[in-house]
Every structure is written in C-alpha cells, then in structure tokens.
Amino acid sequence: MSLAQAHMDVQESLDNYLSYLGMERNLSPYTIQSYQEDLRHWVLWCNENTISLATLTQDQVDLFLQYLSKRYSYEPTSVSRHLSSVRGYLRFCHHRAWTNLDPALFLDAPRLGRYLPDCLTIREVEDIFSGINKERKWALRDCSLLELLYSAGLRISEALDLRIGQIQFDDCWILPIGKGNKQRLVPMAVQTSKNLHAYLTLERPLCSPKSDHFLVNPRGKAFSRMGAWKIVQKLSLTLGRSVHPHTFRHSFATHLLEGGMDLRVLQELLGHADISTTQIYTHIDREFLKQEHRNYHPREKSTLP
C-alpha cells in the first residue's frame, strides 16, 4: 500500500475528482452537480460500511450496486448511470494510485431492458401552457422555462446555463452549449421568441440580475436544478402524474418524429454527442433546419400563449 492510498479517504478523493472535472475536463457546473449527486450515495455507502479505497474490491462495488437497487428501488437505467459515475471516479483514483482497483478491467454495466422514456401528449403540453396564470408573479419566467425545454428541446442543464447572448430573437435561433462543450443551432417558433422576449424585457429586470444567465431566480442569480424541478412539478400538478424537466425534451423529440420529421434533423436539434452521427449533420442547411422545425413542431401551428 502506498502512502497516498493510506491517507486518501473516499470523501477527499471525491472532492479532488469534482475539482478535476471542472478545472481540467472543463465540464459545466450542472454536469458536475449530476456526478456529485450520484457519487454522494457512493460516499455514504463507503462510510457506513467502512470501505477503504486502498483495499477496494470488485465484490464491494457489486454490493454497492445491489444496495442501490434495494434501498432506492432504482431501475437498471439508474443503476447503470451510477455505475458510469463510479467508474469515472475510480479511473481517476486508480490513475493517482489511490486504489488498486482498475475499473477498465472489472466493472461491467448491468444489462438494460428496453426503455421507453416518459412522454406527454400534445394535449397535455397545451394544458400545461394554458394553465399558467398570466397574472401571477414570475409567470413569464415559468413559461420561458417550459418553452426552452419543450419548444426547443433543450436539456435542463442547457436551459439553465443559457446566456442572453445565445438567443437570437430577430432570427428565431437559440444557440445552446451541450455535452462536450459543443454549441448547436436550434430554431424556435415565433410565439416562443415572443414569450422569451417578454420575460427578458418585462419580468427579468425585476430580479436585479447579478448574472448574464437568461433564467434567473428572484435574487438575480442563475437558477438551480431544484428550482427548475419545483416549477415543472407545480405547473404539471393538474395532470395527476409526476413530470420531470427531461420529460419535455422527450416529448419534443416524440412529437416531431410523430409529425414526420427526418431522424437526422431531429438528432441535430437534440445535439446528440456521438461524433459518427454528428458529422452527418454538419452539412444540413440552416434554412432547411428552420423550415423542418416550422413544418413539424406543434407549437408553430398552435395558438398557445
């Protein structure tokens, strides 16, 4: 056992890993927050069971995955996500000689069944938008959040990290920065542009913004994931079922496919990270991309606010 292994506890190693993700990998704060949330379970489990990095074994990692399934009733997809987070963390620790366990040799992802993401119907989306009380404080902000998630299909991290300068109101374009720090073009409906601009000019100034983020909380700071999640939950109460921010992105993709959009165009709009498919989309013309969005997105044809 090396001196480094002997003195590096799990929490300290996690703190080092999160710093590495931000400073060397240049990941967004929201991505780092997601890793931190997954690995929080790992730290708690290791502390409760007196697990040491220096003597960590594959069997102990397997026990942790079983613990997740039993303690939190996680689906295989969630267990797989946690394992991916643990694998990256342990790869970091192994490279620094804090553990002898090499995740590249031992850790396999669980077999996943067929997964169908939760999706709203067009009618349900219309009900959520029409149910926003326009007289209520911060109604324009809440509407803008839903517009970014559904009308533009942004990931929640992309919506929360969106800067004012990344929205081209006159040309109806949004330029989010997605995974891998890659920026893409997403058209927005004219009504979406009007709603976003109304929030920007009428409601956002009331927050005395301390940030150039488009969406800010009442204190003028960038929105948190929890704040956005609470808004989505509040606005979807009338549906009688749980709705998450990512549900709107799934609905965006499903409704466009159902309307007949070409799959390659949809993947460009979603900003999928696979480089082999991304290269196919680099030659898609801007106006064609915008026209496809206009032809098939239900918000372009509706009279929603």
Compute how many other C-beta atoms are within 10 angstroms of the C-beta atom of residue 124. 17
Are residues 87 and 180 located together in one domain of the fold?
no
The C-alpha angle with vertex 142 and arms to 225 and 169, in degrees rounded to 5, equals 100
Give the pLDDT confidence score for residue 198 in this predicted structure. Answer: 95
Domain that residue 275 falls in = 122-301
Q: Is 116 part of any domain?
A: no
* pLDDT tens-digit series, residues 108-123: 555 544 444 578 889 9
Considering the chain, what is the average pLDDT of its residues? 82
* pLDDT tens-digit series, residues 77-114: 677 788 888 989 999 999 999 998 888 776 555 554 44
Are residues 205 and 264 located together in one domain of the fold?
yes
Give the pLDDT confidence score for residue 105 in this predicted structure. Answer: 72
Give the pLDDT confidence score for residue 117 in this predicted structure. Answer: 55
* Enzyme catalytic residues: 155, 179, 246, 249, 272, 281
Structural domains in the chain (count): 2
Please tell me the distance from the alpha carbon of residue 99 to that of residue 2, in angstroms, as a whole number: 9
Please tell me the distance from the alpha carbon of residue 71 to that of residue 16, in angstroms, as a whole number: 27
Are residues 229 and 129 located together in one domain of the fold?
yes
Are residues 74 and 178 located together in one domain of the fold?
no
Q: Which of 53, 71, 106 finishes a domain?
A: 106
Cβ density class 177-212: b for 16+ within 10 Å, e for less: bbeeeeebbbbbbebbbebbebbbeebbeebebebe
- Phi and psi, residue 186, nearest 5°: -130, 120
Q: Which of 106, 138, 169 finishes a domain?
A: 106
Residues 172 and 282: beta-carbon distance below 8 Å? no
Are residues 272 and 142 located together in one domain of the fold?
yes
Q: Which of 106, 132, 154 finishes a domain?
A: 106
Q: Is 112 part of any domain?
A: no
- Phi and psi, residue 188, nearest 5°: -130, 150
Q: What percent of the chain is modeled with pLDDT above 70?
A: 84
Residues in CB range of 226: below 8 A, 6 or more apart: none
**Residue 127: Cβ-neighbour burial (10 angstroms; 0-12, 13-18, 19+):** middle
Are residues 96 and 138 located together in one domain of the fold?
no
* Model confidence at 221: pLDDT above 60: yes
